[in-house]
Structure 1
């Protein structure tokens, strides 16, 4: 089945590339900069892991992204338009606002230089902090997180700092019928959901970085959407020794989450419970001094789950991205930073300047047997299905068809389901999950 899916993806990717013409060269001078990309990706999946979704599915995802910025003497104004659409998916597809957000101005901002190394930005903007585990601009996902508010950024050679207050943009439309139709509705933001905090990054030498951060999320129900009324404070630290040839590298990140929440977003759920949750990531690698720059790394990820009793224990990954550690998201993406215990091994290489490859094998277990596993939606409230979620193998290869202008990417993943994902109360009886994609991106 997976072989047929990959062959279909390759054929579809070639067809798509003949219909998407390379864009014209960007305008780039001292005042005006225009850049963007056109991307087409075909995805296919069978052996669905999500309850209630199509057992097998396929989709064509198209993304057009155009950004422009005009700079004056100590000031700037910019904007970005993203058109993200999906086609040919099944009626009971898992497709969502992660894939579809048609004709959306995700950025529209003004900025000013206040002093040497200090700048301010206000309006709509994207936000990426550290390694993106808690706040990221999504790259693989067809849509991205974006925010409306203000930020201050301070930079010097050995340190950077960001302080921000925002209202997260809620992607619309968010109902299944409009998503299938790629309906155009502009995203909304409001004071019912606020996200703010600070992030400091300190550098030591060429390779070592220490990050410290505190992030605050406050939300309440609004007339047109229900929430869990999360009031979360997430504090964390991250150390990284960057990879380089013939030497060891490492990364450690840990975050502690406190506050209060409701366990569900149902209007009848009025019980506020305290939150105690945490996550940790550890990675150790070695890059060989060889032409291919091969690197091998051992990884370990832990994210707490909720027992359903006492304080709420499920870690909330806020606005983070998952693809770097956990493989493809979009139609796939069962693994995330919630209720997870997962060791892994990764191998990556750059055979030549135009190529790069990566493959990861990961074991999957639950921290709490009564909570849903990671991002799967599968749950056994009695804990009878155990904690073994199985294993995942994923890989990707990318090739620059035209350097810095056109790139082809092929990827696949196999989720070998463990006892939990086959015998939990709402686990779909679909067998192992197989996923693949073919993607072509034109940049300008």
Structure 2
């Protein structure tokens, strides 16, 4: 048995997202309780996530990303099948309700910074093979987090999440990393398909995702880096209306980073990074990249009340400095310049848009920092996150933009047991 309780207070001034309060404050609480049982090759896992927020009003951008009460996020069985697929192989199968991270996590992940998490029902089959090869096959139905209406979310009401075969992820990946090597290469194919279900209209997305990734892990005294590219194609409806036009989809995402680690006491790591996710233009083909269920915090920015920067219609170079002064402390500070990949689409996840394209494409400069400190090692951890967004001309001049800069902070205290 294990678990955690995380208390969070977050506040924002000069909200970057359109159509919501310019300022907000939210206290939140996330409680998890996990039970595991293992006997021989069989493991059973169950885990409850209880995510709540208070002090919200109808203008607060509250969603199921923030509130999901008493949810059995995990209830799965895992079996070690040994060398079922040949000498030197090791296969495991995981089936049931589960949290998952596939590959880099930029399409399928379970976000930890966010107050609630992503869960899936289905199966994952992983086979480790000789010479450092690993294959992963998936069939996962993402959970529809419920309830999802504003009144229920503000009241922290309970409803069991659901899944159905109308919304599913299928595919797999093949990765290679030799034993003891920092170098990883990977190819993946993931299909996401959805159809309308009773009470849940969708945009009928049918998206194929072909990904290539290569990376080298950070090591003291060495250069590290990586590059990942995803081509996304298929079709998507123009809206959730039953008679909406069906659009051909073609979108791209690329991330590249290059870093260096020093062996000093603070273990400094400097990272230059670049992200580009395509936007929807005027060509008649739907070009906005959809990150599906990918994580956000590790690459781009916090979610929560900020939640303005994601993998959609963005072109962004950045620099980051990370330090680990001791086993109890780690921190980073980063900068990003941000432009729209297409000036006719809304910028990233802000909903700020100028369909005419006349407001330009410079969104601004983002300064992001995080500090984590173990007050009591492995038992009690403090975390501070802060973002300052200096708005660019697009964010101020677009028809639904706002003047002034954005300031966001969150204070987190997590107890583990």
**1:130 maps onto 2:89 in alignment:** no
Per the alignment, residue 143 of structure 1 pairs with: 116
Could you tell me whether the CA contact under 8 Å between 1:326 and 1:333 is conserved in 2? no
Could you tell me whether the CA contact under 8 Å between 2:57 and 2:154 is conserved in 1? no
Q: Structure 2: any 5+ residue segments left out of the alignment?
A: 84-89
Per the alignment, residue 341 of structure 1 pairs with: 315
Distance in 2 (CA, whole Å) between partners of 1:284 and 1:121 is: 34
**1:99 maps onto 2:66 in alignment:** yes
Distance in 1 (CA, whole Å) between partners of 2:94 and 2:263 is: 42
Per the alignment, residue 81 of structure 1 pairs with: 48
Which aligned pairs between 1:328-367 and structure 2 lie closer than 5 A? 328-367=302-341
Per the alignment, residue 121 of structure 1 pairs with: 94
2:348 to 374, 379, 395: 374
Per the alignment, residue 17 of structure 2 pairs with: 50
Distance in 2 (CA, whole Å) between partners of 1:390 and 1:356 is: 27
2:279 to 295, 305, 329: 305
Q: Offset of 1:161 from its aligned partner?
A: 2.1
Per the alignment, residue 86 of structure 2 pairs with: none
Per the alignment, residue 220 of structure 1 pairs with: 195
Q: Offset of 1:327 from its aligned partner?
A: 1.9
Per the alignment, residue 153 of structure 2 pairs with: 179
Q: Secondary structure at the match of 1:177?
A: helix
Distance in 2 (CA, whole Å) between partners of 1:426 and 1:214 is: 37
Could you tell me whether the CA contact under 8 Å between 1:58 and 1:90 is conserved in 2? no
1:62 to 2, 25, 29: 29
Q: TM-score, normalised by structure 1?
A: 0.90
1:385 to 342, 359, 370: 359
Distance in 2 (CA, whole Å) between partners of 1:59 and 1:126 is: 26
**1:243 maps onto 2:210 in alignment:** no
Could you tell me whether the CA contact under 8 Å between 1:54 and 1:90 is conserved in 2? no
**What is the Cα-based RMSD across aligned positions, in Å?**
1.3
Q: Offset of 1:337 from its aligned partner?
A: 0.8
Q: Offset of 1:430 from its aligned partner?
A: 4.9
Q: Offset of 1:325 from its aligned partner?
A: 1.2
Could you tell me whether the CA contact under 8 Å between 2:63 and 2:148 is conserved in 1? yes
Q: Offset of 1:129 from its aligned partner?
A: 1.5
Task: Determine which structure has the larger helix proportion and give its number.
Answer: 1
Please list the CA deviations of residues 79-122 of structure 1 after superposition, one character each: whole Å capped at 9, or x if unmatched. Answer: 11000000112331001111100000011112222223211122
Q: Secondary structure at the match of 2:325?
A: coil
Per the alignment, residue 182 of structure 2 pairs with: 207
Could you tell me whether the CA contact under 8 Å between 1:364 and 1:388 is conserved in 2? yes
Per the alignment, residue 166 of structure 1 pairs with: 140
Q: Offset of 1:156 from its aligned partner?
A: 5.0
Q: Offset of 1:264 from its aligned partner?
A: 2.1
Per the alignment, residue 295 of structure 2 pairs with: 321
Could you tell me whether the CA contact under 8 Å between 2:196 and 2:202 is conserved in 1? yes
Could you tell me whether the CA contact under 8 Å between 1:49 and 1:430 is conserved in 2? no
Distance in 1 (CA, whole Å) between partners of 2:282 and 2:193 is: 22
Could you tell me whether the CA contact under 8 Å between 1:102 and 1:184 is conserved in 2? yes
Deviant stretches of 4+, over 4 Å: none
Could you tell me whether the CA contact under 8 Å between 1:77 and 1:109 is conserved in 2? yes
Please list the CA deviations of residues 316-369 of structure 1 after superposition, one character each: whole Å capped at 9, or x if unmatched. Answer: 101100101112111112111111100000001011221111011000000111
Distance in 2 (CA, whole Å) between partners of 1:66 and 1:412 is: 28
Distance in 1 (CA, whole Å) between partners of 2:175 and 2:399 is: 44
Which aligned pairs between 1:1-40 and structure 2 lie closer than 5 A? 34-40=1-7
Q: Secondary structure at the match of 1:351?
A: strand
Distance in 1 (CA, whole Å) between partners of 2:380 and 2:43 is: 29
Per the alignment, residue 407 of structure 2 pairs with: 434
Q: Secondary structure at the match of 2:170?
A: strand
Distance in 2 (CA, whole Å) between partners of 1:208 and 1:127 is: 23
Distance in 2 (CA, whole Å) between partners of 1:207 and 1:243 is: 8
Could you tell me whether the CA contact under 8 Å between 1:153 and 1:163 is conserved in 2? yes
Distance in 2 (CA, whole Å) between partners of 1:263 and 1:127 is: 30
Could you tell me whether the CA contact under 8 Å between 1:41 and 1:439 is conserved in 2? yes
Once the two structures are overlaid, the 10-residue window that deviates more, 71-80 or 178-187, is: 71-80
Distance in 1 (CA, whole Å) between partners of 2:247 and 2:115 is: 34
Q: TM-score, normalised by structure 2?
A: 0.96
Per the alignment, residue 379 of structure 2 pairs with: 405
